Amino acid sequence: MSDMSDLKETARDAKTDIKDAWRKADGESLGDKVATATDRAKDKVADAGDELHEEADRASRDASYEQGRADEMSRSR
């Protein structure tokens, strides 16, 4: 993962931890537990989306690089 994804993941985790602590301030109910579990699941989906996006970007850059190399090779003949 990139530094930006790590930063985003850390920020999401911190946000969820703060929300969880706020929910527990007056005692924890079943609704609080469900809300926290939902927040954590959303965070994991967002983290996976970030990783997928980074991999797609990397694949696109690699393909463009290889296409550029192929173009240069065909011009130099």
What confidence tens digit (pLDDT) does each residue in 30-73 have?
A: 999 999 999 999 999 999 999 999 999 999 999 999 998 888 88
pLDDT at 39: 97
User: What span, in angstroms and rounded, lies between the C-alpha atoms of 44 and 72?
Assistant: 42
Q: What's the pTM value of the predicted model, to 2 decimals?
A: 0.72
Contact assessment for residue 12 and residue 46, using Cβ atoms and an 8 Å cutoff: yes
Q: How confident is the model at residue 4 (pLDDT cuts 50, 70, 90)?
A: confident
Q: Which two tokens stand for residue 35?
A: 């809300």
